[in-house]
């Protein structure tokens, strides 16, 4: 009897040890999703919630010290009658974007979807009573736009999260951590199983509690069990951890660290994405007029592609559900640029040749695209070009460009070229 019991205990121990050390192996479908995601290159990030009503960004509750119970009243008058999923998806498509990542729940804890896990959601707590994320998911599916859900790990209001509470042994002292983890798992299950065509989950807020046990093994495991092809990314500003499928950067190109967020986010081997705001705010901000120009956005997109990253450009729609005209005008022009030059962006890979002083290089099949931001008077040099160059041409009109290939790389002579102020694209074909 004792021997049997010992064997049973040994077996159970081995199982649990295995469970702890089991490494994530992405499925074949997941690997396909990763490739496809990398091909998309340009996405629309949307921060929209009851905070939009105050027109001061998504951190307004925290920044203005609004007590949670007072802040919650915003739900009573959130009624975005102007929201139209068709218009949002058409807006993204016009800009040349191929996917949308939208806030399903931000740090204020308000769920922008119909959830059974909390009454504090757009369907049950607002006079709107509609589920914009369901409408968006259906429209995205119809229009062939991929949909990802942003999901905040941090919650300023739920008692089980206990914001501000000290953490001991991986849990907040005053909260109910197990209940909070269960709540997130319930919501994520809803987001993945109820909403059609969801392709990714974009976590944020881990950085608020570095020492807590987030149960990522369970959470990521659940997501991949429900749909192994779903891509998981986490904006923890660290190197990717086991179970993640893409790596993201905030307000910085991979390798950069102008914001201070990316000091520890060493670039790994996963697909990359970088996000940036169209002005200086994520959520709707009525006083923020620092709009980026068409040229700045094109350069960001091209610079990201050259570093092998997707570009997720954020807008904060207004509380009535409309997108402000300044964003629409700029992005329509970016879209025209993409219509003409998208071949050198969509489906390409970057970092095949490192970024150069004059610009960056993207690559697809046997073609290299040199994106020259400042056209030098004499030549540009592309180092370490693999294969023999058979043709060099200006992408805008197909005219031939003089070049010389040497063992160290290729000289492309630029003196007779007409510079494009946004991006002079030179196409190099290899055999």
- Residues at the contact surface with ligand FHN, assessed by CB under 6 A: 58-59, 204, 235, 250, 275, 282
Cβ-based neighbours of 269, under 8 Å, separated by 6 or more: none
CB 276 to ligand FHN: min, Å: 9
The DSSP result for 96-146, as a single string, is T--EEEEEEE-TT--BSS--SS-S-BHHHHSTT---HHHHHHHHHHHHT-E
Q: Which is nearer to ligand FHN, 191 or 426 (CB)?
A: 191
Residue among 58 and 155 whose Cβ is closer to ligand FHN: 58
**Residue 393 Cβ, how far from ligand FHN at the closest point, in Å?**
39
- Whose CA is closest to 46, among 6, 99, 93, 86? 99
Q: Which is nearer to ligand FHN, 58 or 131 (CB)?
A: 58
Cα 199 from Cα 22, distance rounded (Å)? 24
Cα 366-398-379 angle, rounded to 5 deg: 80
Shortest Å distance, C-beta 59 to ligand FHN? 6
Beta carbon nearer to ligand FHN, 216 or 373: 216
Least CB distance to ligand FHN at residue 20 (A):
29
Q: Smallest distance, Å, CB 46 to ligand FHN?
A: 11
CB of 35 to ligand FHN, least distance (A): 24
Closer Cβ to ligand FHN, 312 or 318, answer by number = 312
Q: Closer to ligand FHN by CB, 46 or 361: give it.
A: 46
The residues that bridge with 247 in the sheet, in sequence order, are 272
The 10 Å CB-count burial string (b at 16+, else e) for 259-271 is eebbeebebeebb
Sequence-distant (6+) residues with CB within 8 A of 67 are: none
Helix (H, G, I), strand (E, B) or coil at 93: helix
Q: Which distant-in-sequence residues (6+ apart) come within 8 Å of 35 by Cβ? A: none
């Amino acid at each position: 009897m004792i021997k049997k019991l010992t064997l049973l205990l040994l077996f159970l121990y081995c199982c649990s040890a295995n469970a702890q050390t089991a490494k994530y192996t992405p499925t074949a479908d997941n690997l396909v999703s990763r490739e496809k995601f990398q091909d998309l290159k340009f996405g629309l990030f949307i921060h929209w919630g009851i905070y939009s009503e105050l027109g001061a960004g998504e951190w307004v509750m925290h920044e203005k010290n609004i007590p949670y119970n007072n802040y919650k009243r915003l739900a009573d008058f959130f009624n975005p009658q102007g929201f139209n999923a068709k218009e949002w998806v058409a807006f993204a498509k016009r800009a040349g974007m191929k996917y949308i990542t939208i806030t399903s729940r931000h740090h204020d804890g308000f769920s922008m979807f119909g959830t059974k896990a909390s009454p504090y959601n757009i369907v049950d707590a607002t006079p709107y009573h509609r589920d914009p994320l369901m409408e968006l998911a259906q429209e995205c599916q119809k229009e062939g736009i991929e949909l990802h859900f942003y999901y905040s790990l941090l919650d300023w209001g739920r008692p089980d999260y206990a914001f501000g509470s000290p953490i001991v042994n991986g849990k907040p002292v005053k909260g109910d951590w197990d209940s909070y983890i269960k709540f997130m798992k319930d919501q994520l299950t809803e987001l993945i199983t109820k909403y059609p065509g969801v392709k990714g989950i974009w976590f944020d807020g881990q950085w608020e509690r570095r020492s807590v046990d987030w149960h990522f093994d369970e959470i990521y495991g659940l997501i991949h069990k429900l749909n192994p092809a779903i891509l998981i990314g986490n904006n923890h500003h660290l190197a990717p951890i086991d179970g993640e499928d893409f790596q993201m950067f905030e307000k910085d190109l991979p390798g950069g660290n102008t914001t201070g967020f990316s000091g520890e986010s060493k670039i790994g081997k996963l697909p990359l994405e970088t996000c940036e705001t169209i002005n200086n705010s994520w959520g709707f901000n009525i006083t923020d007029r620092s709009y980026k120009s068409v040229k700045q956005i094109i350069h960001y997109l091209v610079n990201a592609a050259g570093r092998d990253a997707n570009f997720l450009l954020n807008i904060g729609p207004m509380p009535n559900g409309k997108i402000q005209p300044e964003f629409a005008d700029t992005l329509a022009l970016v879209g025209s640029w993409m219509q003409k030059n998208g071949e050198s962006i969509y489906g390409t890979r970057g970092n095949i040749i490192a970024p150069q002083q004059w610009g960056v290089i993207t690559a697809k099949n046997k073609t290299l695209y040199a994106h020259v931001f400042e056209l030098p008077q004499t030549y540009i040099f592309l180092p370490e070009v693999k294969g023999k160059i058979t043709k060099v041409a200006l992408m805008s009109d197909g005219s031939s460009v003089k070049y010389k290939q040497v063992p160290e790389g290729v000289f492309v002579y630029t003196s007779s070229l007409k510079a494009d102020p946004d991006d002079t694209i030179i196409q190099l074909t290899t055999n």
